[in-house]
Amino acid sequence: MDHASLVATAEAHTGRLVTQNDEIIGEWVPVAQPSLAADDVSKILNAVTRPSENGTELLVAFSDGDVTETEVAGLYEGAVDMDRRPALTLTLTDAGTRMFFRLTADNADRYLAIIVGGKVRSVPQILSPINGQFIIVSPTQAESTKLATVLKGL
């Protein structure tokens, strides 16, 4: 389904899940506060958002290559990105590596919603295919620690 059709279908749905022909094709997902996603969503040209009781929801399209917690092999706390912001490093299983590489290769220059604990935590732009390991950057050390706790509980 193309972007415009997904948006039109999503805007016609009042619930959280977006369906077409009894298939879930997307979801309105709350944007975590505070998070880099909260800072970045408004800057993404084609981001589709709507207000909610608790802030903002982002329309997230589903794909066959979505990576879930079952594909995460390891989590390392204490990393930082190039701007010295706190980050978590995630290592994927072999199956997760193949899936994520394909997903990121097929979607170069698009944005990828990182959803943890039912909330959008980050929306990085995919610059190149990702193979096996990636980081999730947080705006504060407290948010990074909270995110790690949520990830460990999955």
Report pLDDT digits (tens) over 108-148: 898 888 888 889 988 888 889 999 898 888 888 988 888 88
Label residue 27 left, alpha or beta by phi (over 0 means left) and psi (-120 to 50 means alpha). Answer: beta
C-alpha span between 29 and 49 (Å, rounded): 9
What domains are defined for the chain? 3-61 (no CATH), 69-152 (3.30.1360.200)
Residue 107 near residue 60 (C-beta atoms within 8 A): no
- Rounded to 5 degrees, φ, ψ at 68 are -115, 180
Q: Which residues of 98-127 are buried (b: 16+ CB within 10 A; e: fewer)?
A: bbbbebbeeeeeebbbbbbeebbbbbbebe
Q: Is the overall model pTM greater than 0.85, yes or no?
A: no
pLDDT, mean of residues 69-81? 90
Residue 1, pLDDT > 80, answer no
